[in-house]
Amino acid sequence: MGEVVVARILFLAIAALGLLAALGTVLSRNLVHAALHLVGFFFCVACLFVMLEAEFLAAVQVLIYIGAVAILLMFGIMLTRNTRGDDATSLSGPWRLPGLVAGLCLFGALVFGINNAVSPSGASPWAGEAARPSLVEREGEPAWAAERRRAVEDMGRVVGEEFLTRYAMAFELAGLLLTAALVGAVALAHRDEVGAAELPPTVEALPADSAEPVGTAAS
Amino acid sequence: MTLWVLIGIVIKILMIVGITQGTVAYLILVERKIAAYAQDRIGPNRCGAQFGLPAALLQPLADGAKMLLKEDVVPKYVTKPLYILAPWIAIVTAMIGFAVVPFGPVGPNQLIDFQIAPNVDMGLLYVLAVGSLAVYGVILAGWASNNKYAFIGGLRSSAQLISYELPLGMSILGMLLLAGSLDMNQVIAWQSQNAWGVLVQPLGFILFFTSAFAETNRLPFDLPESEQELVGGFHTEYSAMKFGMFFLGEYLHIITVSFITVILFWGGWHLPFLGLTPESSGLIDTLLKVGIITGKVFLAILFIMWIRWTLPRFRYDQLMDLAWKSMIPLALINLVATAGIVQLVRTYWN
C-alpha cells in the first residue's frame, strides 16, 4: 500500500509543478521566460510519462519537445527584433473573448475525448485501470497481461509496430501536416531577388534604443 | 534486499562522479601537453617537480585551486537567476548521461553490473535526449549575460547544435537496426558475435564522429566560443568556478561521446582473439573487459584532442552547408541502404 501512497504524492507534486509552469508560460511578460516555463512544463509531462512506466515516451518527449521544439522557439524569439524578449506580450483587447471561447472549447473537447476513450475492437484495453503486469507469466492471468508486459519491456519496438499498423493513417497524416508546414515556412521566408532589393536594410531600420544589448552603451 | 541495491547504486553514482571529475582534471593536463607538443613547446612541467613528480602531475590541483579561489564576478546587468542556472545546466546534463553508459560487463551472471541503471532498454535514446538538453546551458548563458558577444555565441551554438543533432541521431540508426536494440549492452554483444560497428557501418561511424565534434563544440566546430571573433562567446561574462563548470561540462561531454563511440562502433569490451563473450564472467575476464573499454575510450579522447590541432575552424555558412547539404543526406542514404540490406539478409539468408 505504501507504494501507492508514494506514487500518489509524487503524481500530485509533479502535476502541481506542471500547472505552475503552465501558468507561468501564460502569465510571463517576458517571452524568453515564457518559453523557459514551457520547457519546465514539458519536463513535468516527461516525468508523468516515467510514472506511467512509459520511459520511451518520456525520452522522446525530452528529445523532441525540450531538445528541438522549445529550442527553436527560443531561437525564433532571439532572432526577432525583440531580442531580450521583454516587450509586453499580453493579448490585445478585442481578441480576449474569442481566445477565451476557443480555449474553453478545446478544454471541453479534451475532457470529453479522454473520458470517453474507446479501444478498437480486438485490441487490448489501454484505457481504464492501469495495472502493471507481473514480469513473469502467471497462471490464470487476464488475456491483456502478456501483451502489456511486452509493451513495458520493449516499448520502442511496440510503439514502432503500432505506428506501422494501427496508427499508420494518423502517422502519415501527421507527416503530411509537418511537410505542409515546412513548405509554408520556406514559402514565407523565401523572397525573390527583386523583392529583397526593395526591402529596407533591417539593421538601420531598428529603433535606436530597442533590442540593443547593454554592451553598446558601455563602448 | 532492495535497500542493498539502493546503497549499491548510490556507491556507483559517487564513484562514477568522482572518477569522471578526476579524469577531467587530468584530461585538461593531457590536452595542454598535446597542444604543447603540436606547437613545438614544452607545456606545463613545473607543478609537482618540488615533490619529485615528473610531467607536471600536480598541475590539475593548481588549476582547480585557481578556479575556486578567483573572484566570482556577477555583472550588474545580467539576468541573475538564469545567469547562475546556466553553468549548472551545462554540468548536470553532461553528468547524467553516464547513468546508462556501461563501463564494463553487465548482465545477470556478472560479478558487478558496471552501469548505474543496468539494462535500460532505451539507453541510447536516453543519452541522445540528455545530450539535447546541453544546448540550454549555452543559449541561456548567452542570453542571460546581456552582452553582444555572448549573445551571438549562444545563437550560433543553438543553431549548430540543433543542426548536428540530426546527423548524430540518424547515423547511429543503422547500427541500431543491425543490433536490433537500443540497449547498449545488446549492441556490444552483437558486435562481439559478428563484427565491429566501424567495419559494418563505416559511413555511419564517420558521420557520428563528425557530428560528435560539433555537439561537443570541439575545434573544427567551436564557433560558439571562437576566441578570435567572439572573445570567448557564450562564457565571456563568466569567471572563476562558473567558467570552470562550463569547462568541466565540455570535457565530460567528450568522455560521454567517446564512450558512445567505443560502445557503438569500436566493439565495446571486445577485442579479436581474446575469446571474451558476453557471458564470460570470471574475475580476470571482468577486469580485462573494463580495461579494454577504458583503454579504447582513452584512445578516442586522444584522437579528439589530436584533431583539434590539425584542422582550422569552419566558416559559419560552411558549417551549415556541411550539416544540411551533405551529412543529413548521407545519413539518410546510409539508413535506407542498411534497412534494405538487413531486410534482404533476413529474408534470404536464414
Would you list the DSSP string of B189-202?
Answer: HHHHHS--HHHH-H
The closest CB to that of B132, out of A67, A153, A213, belongs to: A67
> Is B162 touching A (CB cutoff 8 A)?
yes
Q: What are the C-alpha distances in Å from B21 to residues A9, A98, A205, B261, B299?
A: 35, 55, 49, 20, 18
Contacts within 8 Å (CB) and 24+ apart, A136-145: none
**The dihedral formed by the CA atoms of A10, A16, A21 and A26, expressed in degrees to the nearest 10:** 160
- Looking at residue B349, its pLDDT comes to 77
Give the side-chain half-sphere CA count within 13 A for A206. 11
Q: What chain B residue is nearest to A33 in terms of C-alpha separation?
A: B82
Put simply, the answer to whether B158 touches A71 (Cβ < 8 Å) is yes
DSSP letter string, A86-127: -S--PPPGGGHHHHHHHHHHHHHHHHHHHHT--PPTTS---S
- Looking at residue A210, its pLDDT comes to 45
- B165 membership: H or E segment, kind and range: helix B148-171
The closest CB to that of B182, out of A63, A79, A156, belongs to: A156
Distance CA B104, CA A117 (A): 46
Put simply, the answer to whether B146 touches A62 (Cβ < 8 Å) is no
How many CB pairs (< 8 A) connect A and B?
Answer: 78
The domains of chain B are located at: 72-340
Which chain A positions have a beta carbon within 8 Å of B179's beta carbon? none
Instruction: Tell me the nearest-neighbour CA distance from B64 into chain A, angstroms.
Output: 30
* CB contact at 8 A, B268 and B86: no
Residue with cell 500530485: A12
Instruction: Tell me the nearest-neighbour CA distance from B122 into chain A, angstroms.
Output: 7
Put simply, the answer to whether A154 touches B121 (Cβ < 8 Å) is yes
What's chain A's Rg over C-alpha atoms? 24
Instruction: Tell me the nearest-neighbour CA distance from A29 into chain B, angstroms.
Output: 15
- Looking at residue A160, its pLDDT comes to 84
Which chain A positions have a beta carbon within 8 Å of B129's beta carbon? 59-60, 62-63, 67
Contacts of residue A33, defined as CB under 8 A and 6 or more positions apart, other chains included, come to A24, A85
Q: What is the pLDDT of residues A3-28, one digit of tens each?
A: 678 888 888 999 999 999 999 988 88
Contacts of residue B257, defined as CB under 8 A and 6 or more positions apart, other chains included, come to B212, B215, B216, B300, B304
Q: What are the C-alpha distances in Å from B87 to residues A23, A40, A74, A157, B270?
A: 26, 17, 18, 36, 37
Residue B349: count other Cβ atoms within 10 Å of its Cβ. Answer: 6
Put simply, the answer to whether B139 touches A83 (Cβ < 8 Å) is no
Burial level of A88, CB count in 10 A (0-12/13-18/19+)? exposed
Put simply, the answer to whether A63 touches B128 (Cβ < 8 Å) is yes
**The dihedral formed by the CA atoms of B133, B138, B139 and B140, expressed in degrees to the nearest 10:** 90
Our CA angle for B274, B276, B278, nearest 5°, is: 165
Put simply, the answer to whether B135 touches A71 (Cβ < 8 Å) is yes
- Looking at residue A22, its pLDDT comes to 92
Q: What chain B residue is nearest to A85 in terms of C-alpha separation?
A: B143
Closest CA to B318 of B223, B247, B226: B223
Distance CA B16, CA B95 (A): 9
Distance CA B302, CA B30 (A): 9
DSSP letter string, B220-240: GG-TTT-HHHHTTGGGTT--H
pLDDT, averaged per 10 consecutive residues of chain B (350 residues), comes to 78 86 85 86 79 77 84 82 87 86 75 71 83 85 82 81 86 86 83 84 90 80 68 76 84 88 86 74 80 89 85 81 89 91 84
Instruction: Tell me the nearest-neighbour CA distance from B208 into chain A, angstroms.
Output: 17
Residue B66: count other Cβ atoms within 10 Å of its Cβ. Answer: 11
Put simply, the answer to whether B132 touches A216 (Cβ < 8 Å) is no
Put simply, the answer to whether B165 touches A75 (Cβ < 8 Å) is no
Put simply, the answer to whether B132 touches A68 (Cβ < 8 Å) is yes
Intervals of chain A under pLDDT 50? 127-128, 201, 203-219
Which chain A positions have a beta carbon within 8 Å of B138's beta carbon? none
Distance CA B28, CA B34 (A): 10
- Looking at residue A214, its pLDDT comes to 43
Taken in order A81, A82, A88, A90, the sign of the CA dihedral is: positive
Distance CA A132, CA B344 (A): 38
DSSP letter string, A161-217: HHHHTTTHHHHHHHHHHHHHHHHHHHHHH---HHHHHHSPPHHHHS-TTTT--THHH
Distance CA B299, CA B254 (A): 12
Collapsed DSSP state (helix, strand, coil) of residue B56: coil
Put simply, the answer to whether A36 touches B82 (Cβ < 8 Å) is yes
> Is B77 touching A (CB cutoff 8 A)?
yes
* CB contact at 8 A, A72 and B162: yes
> Is B159 touching A (CB cutoff 8 A)?
yes
**Left, alpha or beta for B56 (phi > 0: left; psi -120 to 50: alpha)?**
left
Give the side-chain half-sphere CA count within 13 A for B59. 18
> Is B342 touching A (CB cutoff 8 A)?
no
Which chain B positions have a beta carbon within 8 Å of A39's beta carbon? 136
Which residues of A touch chain B, with CB atoms under 8 Å apart?
32, 36, 39, 55-56, 59-60, 62-63, 66-68, 71-72, 74-75, 78-79, 83-84, 153-156, 213-216
Put simply, the answer to whether B143 touches A66 (Cβ < 8 Å) is no
Put simply, the answer to whether A71 touches B136 (Cβ < 8 Å) is yes
Which chain B positions have a beta carbon within 8 Å of A63's beta carbon? 125, 128-129, 132
Output the nine-digit C-alpha cell for A195.
Answer: 523583392
Q: What chain B residue is nearest to A64 in terms of C-alpha separation?
A: B129
> Is B149 touching A (CB cutoff 8 A)?
yes
- Looking at residue A175, its pLDDT comes to 92
Distance CA B286, CA A115 (A): 53
Q: What is the 3-state secondary structure (H, E, C) of B249-296?
A: HHHHHHHHHHHHHHHHHCCCCCCCCCCCCCCCCCHHHHHHHHHHHHHH
